[in-house]
Chain A
Amino acid sequence: MKFRLLGIFSVLLILAWHTLDGLVEGDWGRLEGGLANLSIFFSESMWPPNWSVLEARSYPVCDEKIEFFCSVGYLGMMETLKIAFVSTILGFVGAICLSSLAARNLTPLYISIPIRVFLSAVRSLPSLIWAILFVIVIGFGPLSGVLAMTFYTVGYLGKLQYEVFEGMQNDPLEAGRAMGLSRPSIFAFIVIPENSNHLLSQLMFMFEYNVRHGTVIGIVGAGGIGYYISTYLKFLQYDKVFALLILIFVVVVLIDLLSLMVRSFVNEEGDVRKPTWLNMILRAKAKRNASANAEQSFSSNVD
């Protein structure tokens, strides 16, 4: 079995290599000096990051006591977070309505199939294309960003949700049906509570995803920190771009940690009391004290 798996992976690897070779038409010379180029570009244009993006802009005049709150980094990031938050919530609500109709164990096929096709169509356009469309339709600004991200969220989250609903155990649904609960009641009082962990986890994932993609849609004029990145790129101010990228990285890591914490409250494992840093340290200290006491009593017994 192991050898067969190894054989399959080897064949896939060789196939991938041949495909790549075909794509670059055998011109591997391009890679020559790539690393040196990257090193020069990084050291001369990007490093050190220009932290002036976290200082107040010269215009408009800053009214805040702390300058940071008037900075490009803060304002751009806040706008991205706001776009991500609004579009995640609106998208989640839209997705949950559609996914309840798309799940085959909850709705007849003649309803679920058209809804699935619709969700696939919405999902097939990446958020960047949605952003371009909305910038064309309603102009530059965060509203285009919100609408673009909302549409993408509906498509993406809708699929994740109906797959979770379809994977749930059938017996609570059957009990609800036999007892005479209506379809909306079954969905609201059986399906949603039973899958709440997954839904919350998907919600957090989507928020994090929208924050990351919110930076990209800004580049086409749909608001957020991406607008500033795009501007700095145009003026070849790569050190400022690098500073903003670091800021985005920090925010994404923080959201990831927050998501981890929120999900830990609703996981199956959430039933078990989790160790905290504090009680781990205290326990280690208690253990040390206990062993010291044991040693002391042993030595006194020997004496």
Chain B
Amino acid sequence: MSDGVVLTLDGLVIGYGEPLVEPISLTVEAGEIIAILGPSGIGKTTLIRTLAGLVRPLSGHFDMDLDGRGNLGYIPQRLGLVRHATVAHNVALGARCGVKWSKTMFQERKERTQDAMRTLGIEEKAKEPVRRLSGGQQRRVATARTLAQRPQLMLADEFLGELDQDNVDTVLSAVSGLVNNGTSVIMVEHHEDNVMDFATRIWELKDGRFLDASIEEWQSKSDLGEEE
């Protein structure tokens, strides 16, 4: 893999028994923000879960060039939070993955946890069990967990969900902070509008086909479609 490439897909075929999309071959560079678009049930979540190592590819393979374990951030569709634990505990899980063993490990984990909670405005809820929070607040906790992890590659499955515009802006600005430090983001998003100003690249899954386009190409294609 060349410098700056964090992910390489080589003839990757995803699905459960039957292939959902044509074989995918591409690379993802550090700092890229990729939005996966497409109708429901087309295989967006399967693609993210395959990249997260939770589903075996039907054929082909993918390589991640990350600095060891704990450098992959993942926000599943149902957020994957420990509902009976506190907000701080959940955010600290990210820091636990992201901070390697050292003398200052505990201090660093604590600082990262507090920073992440502060950035997403959930510091006051630190001691509350996650189950008591609203859906929007829970999404912010899941994002804070990844923020505290500071991964090289972040996978997120519809993590903007039912957030209102203010919350979408807060979450995306927090993720931008990660991207500025070199994190690549691959996110499934149902609402195209949420990511048009944010993503640098679009992967579209449609009728078993896979389209990879830069945001400019995608926008010009969309404009042409509207004109027609």
Contacts and interface: CB of A to CB of B under 8 A. Distances in A.
Q: Do A and B come from one complex?
A: yes
B78 A193 contact: no
Given A189-B93, A190-B93, A193-B89, A179 B82 contact: no
Q: Which of B69, B96, B149, B151 has the most CB of A within 10 A?
A: B96
Contacts, number: 74
B80 A172 contact: yes
A177 B78 CA distance: 15
A197 interface: yes
Contacts of B85: 193-194
B182 interface: no
A172 B82 contact: yes
A189 B78 CA distance: 18
A203 to B, nearest CB: 16
B163 interface: no
B147 interface: no
Given A178-B54, A179-B72, A181-B97, A271 B81 contact: no
A171 interface: yes
Q: Which of A175, A193, A268 has the most CB of B within 10 A?
A: A175
A271 B49 CA distance: 34
A178 B82 contact: no
B84 interface: yes
A180 interface: yes
Contacts of A237: none
Contact of A185 (B80, B84, B96, B129): B96
Interface in B31-56: 49, 52-54
Q: Interface residue tally of chain B, by bracket?
A: 20 to 34
Main secondary structure of the interface of A (DSSP, over half): helix
Contact of B78 (A169, A179, A180): A169
A285 B89 CA distance: 43
Nearest to B97: A179
Interchain residue pairs A-B with the least CB separation, the first 6: A175-B80, A178-B74, A180-B70, A178-B52, A193-B85, A180-B69
Interface string A160-186: 000000000101111111111100010
Interface in B17-42: none
B191 interface: no
Contacts of A173: 80
B221 interface: no
A174 B52 contact: yes
Contacts of A194: 82-85
B80 A176 contact: yes
Contacts of B12: none
B79 to A, nearest CB: 7
A196 interface: yes
Q: Which of A169, A172, A190, A195 has the most CB of B within 10 A?
A: A172
B160 to A, nearest CB: 17
A171 B74 contact: no
Contact of B72 (A174, A180, A189): A180
B155 interface: yes
A197 B53 contact: no
Nearest to B80: A175
Q: Which of B70, B73, B74 has the most CB of A within 10 A?
A: B74
Contacts of A180: 69-72, 97
Contacts of A179: 70, 72-74, 93-94, 97, 149, 151
